[in-house]
Structure 1
Amino acid sequence: MKRAQHIGDALRNNTTLTTLHLSLNSIGDEGAQHLGDALQINTTLTTLNLFNNGIGAKGARHLGDALRINTVTDI
């Protein structure tokens, strides 16, 4: 999913966006992988809504792995 790849690329460099609603965007497992890759790096985003995106077990695994790595640190 190209859209999710582009969003993932943007999230890698994001330092201001804290909430993102991506409901009903057909992201799927491949898109979830792109988002997961970005979430390993991004520590600014605190709310992500992925309702009804056709993300299966494989995509959920990518997101879960990313969230295990992602930590927000206070400066």
Structure 2
Amino acid sequence: MHRNGMGDVGAQSLGNALRHNTTLTTLDLYHNAIREVGAQYLADALQLNITLTTLNISSNQIGDVGAQSLGVALQHNTTLTTLNLEGTKIGDVGAESLGVALQHNTTADDNNGILFCFLILTETVNKRAWLKS
């Protein structure tokens, strides 16, 4: 479903469907004009979803608020192993929320995909901070 232009309204519909999903394990939402509100819908669904293992929401503008929503979801979700957040306009606040979530995630030890993504995100935030100084 990448480059589909679904936006927040589409993310809301998809989030509603994901709440009841029992078969879908991989979802690619790359470059879909999803913003903070859409990320909230997806995060709410992730708290209930028990089958999704891979989620790509790269190149969407979820920002810190969207990252905070996903952070809350990651504290409850036990199946997601790969989360691609590259190019999602997440800053320091969002990165911190995700870091806290990974400390509480019961699958974090085996969650190399999410941990790898978090390391890339942290590296990006650190570079941005260095450029500002």
Query: TM-score if structure 1 supplies the norm length?
Result: 0.93
Match of 2:54 among 11, 19, 43: 19
Moved over 2 A (4+): none
User: How far 1:6 sits from its partner (Å)?
Assistant: 0.1
RMSD value, Cα? 0.5
Paired AA for residue 62 in structure 2: I
Q: Which has the larger radius of gyration?
A: 2
Match of 1:48 among 74, 83, 93: 83
Structure 1 segments unaligned to the other structure (5+ residues)? none
Paired AA for residue 19 in structure 1: T
Query: TM-score if structure 2 supplies the norm length?
Result: 0.53
Q: Give the helix-richer structure, 1 or 2.
A: 2
Number of residue equivalences: 72
User: How far 1:52 sits from its partner (Å)?
Assistant: 0.2
Aligned to 1:36: 71
Aligned to 2:40: 5
Structure 2 segments unaligned to the other structure (5+ residues)? 1-35, 108-133
